[in-house]
Structure 1
Amino acid sequence: MHTYPANSPEAVSRILALAMIVDGHVSPSEVHAMHRASFLEQVKVDDETFDRTLRELCEDLLDAAANCRAGVVEIDPTLLDELLLDIRDPLLQICLWKTMVDIVQADGHLDGRETTLVRRAARAWFGQDRSEDSFTTAALTT
């Protein structure tokens, strides 16, 4: 797995890419939701950085896949938690989490893998034991 400095444009891009691909496909509405996030310019996430990081993530996930069947790649929960911990700045965590919610809701279908990712991010970043409740509340209010 590629390693990136904490809070780097690549670390942010990797989490955004995960939010887009975790359900098995990227929809144009998800890409549009990401581009609406105003904080991305401040953290220097541009199209080139995002595209490169997305490609590297896909390659890394295929290489590390413990169970790859019928085109489905399972992400090890420990690995997922490690990737989330690359985002350490509290304000960046908040902005990124909101953007993740926007991305997973963008296509009008909330997949279980998407909710798992968003819940794990809430748990990792905000220490919420009941992150399901916070995600459900956020999903219902947006």
Structure 2
Amino acid sequence: MRSYPLNSPQAAARIVATMALSDGKLCSRELNLIDRFGKAGVLSLSREQLHTVLRDHCQDMALYTSYEWAERGECLPESLHRLLAEVQDPLRRAHVLQLCGAIADADAHWSAAERRMIDTVRRCWAQEART
């Protein structure tokens, strides 16, 4: 799986992309939210850059993770922890968490996979903040 520089917009966008894909589908409302937050400076990426991160992440998940991704549509916890470690800045983390919540709300239904992912993000980052 490719890596991005620590605290880079791409590293943050990849976590957001993982959230958007966690329920196994990417709806237009989720994509519009990602685009809007990207343009607003939360992710500091253009629409094209955001879509590149999303496409690259899909390719990485298909190539470098276990069959469980394709079967469940979820990022494995070990893989997710590696992605989360690339965002250390507390403000960027807060923005990513806010956007992940907005994406889960976009289709007016939080799937079990979305709940698991947001719980994992919160738990991982809270644990790191305590150490």
| Structure 1 residue 44: Cα displacement | 2.0
Q: Count how many residue pairs are aligned between Structure 1 and Structure 2.
A: 128
| Structure 1 residue 43: Cα displacement | 4.5
Moved more, 64-73 or 42-51: 64-73
- Map Cα deviations across residues 14-33 of structure 1 (whole Å, 9 max, x no partner): 01111111111111111233
Could you tell me whether the CA contact under 8 Å between 2:38 and 2:46 is conserved in 1?
A: no
Using structure 2 for the length normalisation, give the TM-score: 0.85
5+ unaligned residues in a row in structure 2: which ranges? none
| Structure 1 residue 116: Cα displacement | 1.0
Structure with bigger helix share is 2
Residue aligning to 1:123: 123
- Map Cα deviations across residues 53-98 of structure 1 (whole Å, 9 max, x no partner): 1111111101123225876445221111110111100011111101
Using structure 1 for the length normalisation, give the TM-score: 0.79
Moved more, 45-54 or 62-71: 62-71
Q: Distance in 1 between matches of 2:125 and 2:43?
A: 18
Could you tell me whether the CA contact under 8 Å between 1:4 and 1:11 is conserved in 2?
A: yes
Residue aligning to 1:50: 50
Residue aligning to 2:13: 13
Residue aligning to 1:81: 81
Could you tell me whether the CA contact under 8 Å between 1:6 and 1:87 is conserved in 2?
A: yes
| Structure 1 residue 10: Cα displacement | 0.9
- Map Cα deviations across residues 90-110 of structure 1 (whole Å, 9 max, x no partner): 011111101100101110111
Q: Distance in 2 between matches of 1:69 and 1:75?
A: 6
Letter in 1 for 2:67: N
Residue aligning to 1:100: 100
Identical amino acids, percent of aligned pairs: 27
